[in-house]
Each structure stands twice: as structure tokens, then as C-alpha cells.
């Protein structure tokens, strides 16, 4: 059997392109934050993770430019060898302080953070417990570990207790949940999860990739609930609110040191270049100086959720700037995405198996820099296309 046979038989993309319904890898000509250009057409962006709008912030851009001039474009080595700069360590110190933990460690991407942390901590005698809707990077980290993986129904506390109570004594336990679920827009019930972790001697890691900058005054989901001390490890990425590329894990110093010397995704990857580190640090400084950005994005999201519900859209249990429009069918989701795209609105279609069958959706998300007029326009288009497609 030729291993490339499967490639020749994979015709779904070709067929979608030929029919004009391929929604991925859209090459934008320009990206101005709230608006983008595609083949000469301007679209309103309601499908980005740029929650605080910092990718175009003057101080964030200038920090990256200054770092290129000082350090060049690459560190050309891993953090373990020649790829650590004082800039990385300063960023780690500031991040640890921001999330309220003693130490932090910066990885090259958010994906690598979860791969490295989970595979470093989970040994053969350990059990990893995941929410069924956890991000793919957490699932892949579980696959790379040597331990056993168990899953519980999404945010179902009774099911989590069922799983934890069945783990034999003597097994190490790590529960990992998204703080803010990236497709559904709901928040993990940390006030209920933390006591269970304590009851069953499990450690808790929270992936705050989408919550950082948005919840808890920008400090994430644990801060949102006032429960930072109850979460053992806080993870996030720089590719959302931090307007950069990279990721980090924060926790107790001895745990971070262990991860630093055992995480293969860190040891065998080149470090993030100085411009990315400098941009993330500058973004953090803006978060500190301008807390109104987090307030603004949540206010916008609250208005959008209220209006979409009023119009009759099913947006699930969203509580955040991630607002899904549930449709429940692959092709109907694609047709609706295409109609919105042609009308000038950029959103993201999410199909099975990325979400469970019957839960196909349009993922919409919002930025602090969206104007009221832009939100008015988005809501007008949602209503128009929603009625046209028979969704409302």
C-alpha cells in the first residue's frame, strides 16, 4: 500500500473549491484589525481572536520593531541552549505577576505549551482527566504522555466526580480544562471543579488561551472567579489578546523548573524571536494601563448576545466575546458562511468532527476596537442572512 494513496483519494477540498464553498485558508490582502481586505473587497472581521484589538496598537507594533533592530529576527536556537534572552525572562516574570503565580515559562507557541507541559508531567502511573470539549492541543498532549486519559462530559460536575472517584489510590491525577471554551464561548465552572480536585487529590491546570485579556480584568478565568490560588497551573497563548505568537505556563517555581527541564516541546524547539516576545510584553503593559479594553469587549459581546437571542438565533451558553451561532448541519453552515462572506462579514464555519455532529456552528468573536457602527452593521447582516437562510 502506497502511503500517498490516501492523499490522491482526498478530494473533498478540490470539490469544495470548484463549487465555491471552501471556507478555509483565506489569504487576506490586508488586516487592519476590525476590517480586512480579500481580493479587493473589504470585510468586517467578526472571526478573529484579537479580543483587545492590540495587533494594531502603536506601542505593540513599535516594541516589535525596536526588538528587531536590537536583537534581529531570530534566536536560532532553543531556550535550553542559546535561545534564551533577558527579554524572555523579563516577560516570564511579568506574566507570573499578572496571573498571580510565583513563576512562568514561555514556549514557542500555545500548542507547544500544552504538548510540553502535559507530556512532561504525566507519567505511566498518572491519570489525565479532560473535559470532552477541551482544545485539540490538550488532547494531543495527552496522546504524547505515558499516562492514562479519561474524559468527562462538558462542564458536568457529577460526571467529573464519577471519573475522579474511580481512579485507584496511588495514581497521580491532573485535571485539565479550558477556562473559556473556544467554540462554545462558555466558562469552565471552576468554583465547582476546584473543590472536587481537592477532595480527590487531583491537580488542576486551566487553559486560558481565550480567557486571558478577557476575563477577570484580563487576568483569566481563575481571577474571574477569585480562585487563582485554587488553580495549580495557568496556561495561555500570545496569539489572542497578546497580539503575538507564543505561549506560557505559570505555577509554583519548582513545578515550572521541572517542566523547563523535561518538556521536549520546549527543549527541542527554537525560542520565540525577540519581536514576538517584545510585542507580548508591550501588550501586557497595555492591559495593565488600559483595563477599559477588557470592559469594552465584554460590553460589546453582551450586546451581541442579547441581540442575537432576541432575533431568534441559538447561541448556546455563550457568556463571553466568543458567540457561536448554532446551525447543526455541515452544508447549511457552509451556505450561511458563504452568504455572510459575500455580504461583507467574516466569520468562521466550524464543522464536524471539530464539533460533535449536530453542533455545527458559525463561530463569531468580537474586539474591544469594534465601533458601535460596525456592530450595528454586523447585526443587520446576521438578521438579513439569518432570515434568508431560514435560521431565524
The residue among 365, 80, 336, 105 whose CA lies nearest residue 214 is: 365
- Angle between helix 110-121 and 136-144 (nearest 10): 40
User: Long-range contact list for 300-304, CB < 8 A, 24+ apart?
Assistant: 300/366, 300/367, 300/368, 300/370, 300/375, 301/366, 303/375, 304/364, 304/366, 304/375, 304/378, 304/379
pLDDT value at 3 more than 90:
yes
CA atoms of 318 and 361, how far apart (whole Å): 13
The whole-number pLDDT of residue 357 equals 87
Domain 5-51+291-388 sits in CATH at: 3.90.1150.10
pLDDT tier for residue 356 given thresholds of 50, 70 and 90: confident
Domain 58-289 sits in CATH at: 3.40.640.10
* Domain positions in the chain: 5-51+291-388, 58-289
Q: Angle at CA 29, nearest 5°, toward 24 and 35?
A: 85
Percent of the chain with pLDDT over 70: 100
CA 170 centroid distance within chain: 33
pLDDT in tens, 120-177: 999 999 999 999 999 999 999 999 999 999 999 999 999 999 999 999 999 999 999 9
CB atoms under 10 Å from CB of 81, counted, come to: 12
What does the pLDDT average to over 13-26? 91
Cell numbers describing residue 281: 510584553
Range in 127-131, 176-180, 328-332 the model is least confident about: 328-332
pLDDT tier for residue 224 given thresholds of 50, 70 and 90: very high
The whole-number pLDDT of residue 213 equals 97
Q: What are the CA-CA distances from residue 384 to residues 21, 221, 322, 344, 390 (Å)?
A: 20, 35, 21, 12, 10
pLDDT value at 254 more than 90:
yes
pLDDT tier for residue 1 given thresholds of 50, 70 and 90: confident
- Is residue 193 within 8 A of residue 160, CB to CB? The reply is yes
What does the pLDDT average to over 323-334? 95
Alpha helices in the chain (DSSP H): 5-9, 12-19, 58-71, 86-99, 110-121, 136-144, 157-165, 190-199, 221-225, 253-262, 264-267, 274-289, 292-311, 330-343, 372-388
pLDDT tier for residue 318 given thresholds of 50, 70 and 90: very high
Q: How high does pLDDT run on average in the chain?
A: 96
What does the pLDDT average to over 83-100? 98
pLDDT tier for residue 336 given thresholds of 50, 70 and 90: very high
- Is residue 328 within 8 A of residue 358, CB to CB? The reply is yes
> Phi and psi at residue 101, in whole multiples of 5°?
-125, 155
pTM of the model: 0.96
pLDDT in tens, 298-313: 999 999 999 999 999 9
CB atoms under 10 Å from CB of 83, counted, come to: 19
The whole-number pLDDT of residue 138 equals 97
| Cis peptide bond prior to 353, omega within 30° of 0 | yes
Give the H or E element holding residue 174. strand 172-178
Range in 314-318, 350-354, 372-376 the model is least confident about: 350-354
Beta bridge partners of 288: none
Supply the DSSP symbol for 56: G
Supply the DSSP symbol for 75: -
pLDDT tier for residue 106 given thresholds of 50, 70 and 90: very high
Sequence-distant (6+) residues with CB within 8 A of 93 are: 104
Supply the DSSP symbol for 24: S
Amino acid at each position: 500500500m502506497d502511503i500517498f494513496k490516501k492523499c490522491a483519494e482526498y478530494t473533498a477540498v478540490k470539490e469544495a473549491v470548484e463549487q465555491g464553498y471552501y471556507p478555509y485558508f483565506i489569504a487576506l490582502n490586508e488586516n487592519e484589525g476590525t476590517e480586512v481586505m480579500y481580493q479587493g473587497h473589504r470585510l468586517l472581521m467578526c472571526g478573529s481572536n484579537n479580543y483587545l484589538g492590540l495587533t494594531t496598537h502603536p506601542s505593540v507594533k513599535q516594541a516589535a520593531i525596536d526588538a528587531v533592530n536590537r536583537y534581529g529576527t531570530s534566536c536560532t536556537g532553543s531556550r535550553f541552549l542559546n535561545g534564551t534572552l533577558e527579554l524572555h525572562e523579563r516577560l516570564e516574570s511579568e506574566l507570573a505577576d499578572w496571573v498571580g503565580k510565583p513563576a512562568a515559562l514561555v514556549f514557542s507557541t500555545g500548542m507547544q505549551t500544552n504538548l510540553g507541559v502535559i507530556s512532561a508531567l504525566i507519567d505511566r502511573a498518572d491519570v489525565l482527566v479532560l473535559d470532552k470539549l477541551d482544545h485539540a492541543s490538550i488532547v494531543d498532549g495527552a496522546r504524547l504522555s505515558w499516562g492514562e486519559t479519561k474524559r468527562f462530559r462538558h462542564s458536568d460536575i457529577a460526571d467529573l466526580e464519577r471519573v475522579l472517584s474511580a481512579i485507584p489510590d496511588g495514581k497521580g491525577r491532573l485535571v485539565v480544562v479550558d477556562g473559556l471554551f473556544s467554540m462554545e464561548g462558555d466558562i469552565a465552572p471552576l468554583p465547582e471543579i476546584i473543590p472536587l480536585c481537592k477532595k480527590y487529590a487531583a491537580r488542576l491546570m486551566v487553559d486560558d488561551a481565550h480567557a486571558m485579556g478577557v476575563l477577570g480584568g484580563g487576568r483569566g478565568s481563575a481571577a474571574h472567579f477569585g480562585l487563582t490560588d485554587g488553580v495549580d497551573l495557568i496556561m495561555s497563548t500570545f496569539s489572542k489578546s497578546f497580539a503575538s505568537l507564543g505561549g506560557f505556563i505559570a505555577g509554583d517555581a519548582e513545578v515550572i523548573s521541572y517542566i523547563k527541564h523535561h518538556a521536549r516541546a520546549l527543549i527541542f524547539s527554537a525560542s520565540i524571536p525577540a519581536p514576538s516576545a517584545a510585542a507580548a510584553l508591550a501588550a501586557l503593559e497595555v492591559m495593565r494601563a488600559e483595563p477599559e479594553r477588557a470592559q469594552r469587549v465584554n460590553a460589546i459581546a453582551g450586546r451581541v448576545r442579547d441581540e442575537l437571542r432576541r432575533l431568534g438565533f441559538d447561541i448556546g451558553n455563550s457568556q463571553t466575546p466568543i458567540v457561536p451561532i448554532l446551525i447543526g448541519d455541515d452544508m447549511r453552515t457552509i451556505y450561511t458562511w458563504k452568504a455572510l462572506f459575500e455580504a461583507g462579514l467574516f466569520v468562521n464555519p466550524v464543522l464536524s468532527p471539530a464539533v460533535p455532529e449536530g453542533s455545527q456552528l458559525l463561530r463569531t468573536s468580537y474586539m474591544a476596537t469594534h465601533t458601535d457602527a460596525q456592530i450595528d452593521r454586523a447585526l443587520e447582516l446576521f438578521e438579513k442572512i439569518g432570515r434568508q437562510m431560514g435560521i431565524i
